Homo-oligomer: A and B are copies of this chain.
Amino acid sequence: MRKQEAILLEAERQFARFGLEGSSIEGIAAQLGISRQNLLYYYASKEALYVAVLDNVLADWIASMEELGSVDTPEQAIAQYIRAKLRFSRERPSGTSVFTREVMAGAPLYRDTLVAKVMPALKTDVKRLERWAREGLIRRTNFLHLMFVLWASTQAYADLAPQFALFEGKEALDEQDFEAAEKLLTEMVLRTLKP
Q: Hey, what's the 0/1 contact readout for A138-174 against B, CB within 8 Å counting as 1?
A: 0001101110110111011101101110111000000
Q: Which of A2-10, A48-56, A185-193 participates in binding chain B?
A: A185-193
Tell me if A107 is interfacial: C-beta within 8 Å of chain B: yes
Chain B residues with CB under 8 Å of A141's CB are 184, 187
Number of residues on chain A facing chain B (CB within 8 A):
53
Q: Which of A17-25, A38-46, A68-76 participates in binding chain B?
A: A17-25
In Å, the complex CA distance between A18 and B185 comes to: 31
Given A101-B104, A142-B180, A166 contacting B114 (CB threshold 8 A): yes
Given A101-B104, A166-B115, A149 contacting B21 (CB threshold 8 A): no
Q: How far is the CB of A103 from chain B (nearest CB, A)?
A: 4
In Å, the complex CA distance between A145 and B119 comes to: 28
Query: Do B97 and A145 touch (CB < 8 A)?
Result: no
- Apart from A100-B104, A103-B163, A115-B166, list 6 A-B contacts with CB within 8 A: A114-B166, A141-B184, A144-B168, A148-B181, A149-B156, A149-B185
